[in-house]
Structure formats: structure tokens, C-alpha cells
């Protein structure tokens, strides 16, 4: 379960860290990251014993990279809207 949590946090943290440039944005991001870690842990605890908590799901997230694909899609949309 910790693998899944760290994968999700690292992916989103890396994406957000690249996007944050000002001090204020970095401070907001730190608060957001803390809230995200708490939410991910609660979600994993709620779904303990399901496919979400399995090593197979962690491998899926790690190797198929669905979160990166979603974030990349959102990023492209934001760029197009600017």
C-alpha cells in the first residue's frame, strides 16, 4: 500500500513542482501535497483488501502511467486555453 501511495504522491508532486514558480505557489503546493497525502492514505485505508490495495494495481499505476496521462492531458488543455 505504501508503494501505491508513494507512486501517486511522487507523480503529482513532480508534475506540480514543475509548474510552481513563485514562492506563493510553492507554499500552496506544499499545503496541497499534505492534504493529498492524507486523502490518499484515507482512500487506501477505506479500500483495504480490494484491488486498489493490491500489488497488481500498484504495478499498473507504475508501469501504465494512467495518472501521468491524465495530468498531461489536463496540462495540454490548460496550455490551449491560455
Averaged confidence pLDDT in the chain: 76
Largest CA distance in the chain: 43
How many Å apart are CA 1 and CA 17, to the nearest integer? 24
**Which letter does DSSP use for residue 47 in this model?**
T
For the segment 52-73, what is each residue's pLDDT rounded down to a tens digit?
767 888 888 888 888 888 878 8
Task: Please list, in sequence order, all residues whose beta carbon lies within 8 angstroms of the beta carbon of residue 62, skipping any fewer than 6 positions away.
Answer: 3, 7
How many Å apart are CA 16 and CA 78, to the nearest integer? 13
How many Å apart are CA 45 and CA 65, to the nearest integer? 22
Is 25 within 8 Å of 77 (Cβ atoms)? Answer: no
Number of structural domains the chain divides into: 1
Q: What per-residue confidence (pLDDT) applies to 65?
A: 85
Q: What per-residue confidence (pLDDT) applies to 24?
A: 64
Q: Which domain holds residue 62?
A: 2-81
Amino acid at each position: 500500500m505504501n508503494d501505491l501511495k508513494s507512486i501517486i504522491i511522487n507523480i503529482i508532486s513532480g508534475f506540480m513542482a514543475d509548474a510552481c514558480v513563485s514562492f506563493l505557489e510553492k507554499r500552496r503546493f506544499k499545503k496541497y501535497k499534505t492534504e493529498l497525502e492524507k486523502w490518499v492514505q484515507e482512500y487506501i485505508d477505506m479500500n483495504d483488501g480490494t484491488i486498489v490495495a493490491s500489488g497488481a494495481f500498484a504495478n499498473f499505476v507504475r508501469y501504465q502511467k494512467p495518472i501521468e496521462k491524465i495530468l498531461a492531458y489536463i496540462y495540454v488543455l490548460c496550455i490551449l486555453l491560455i
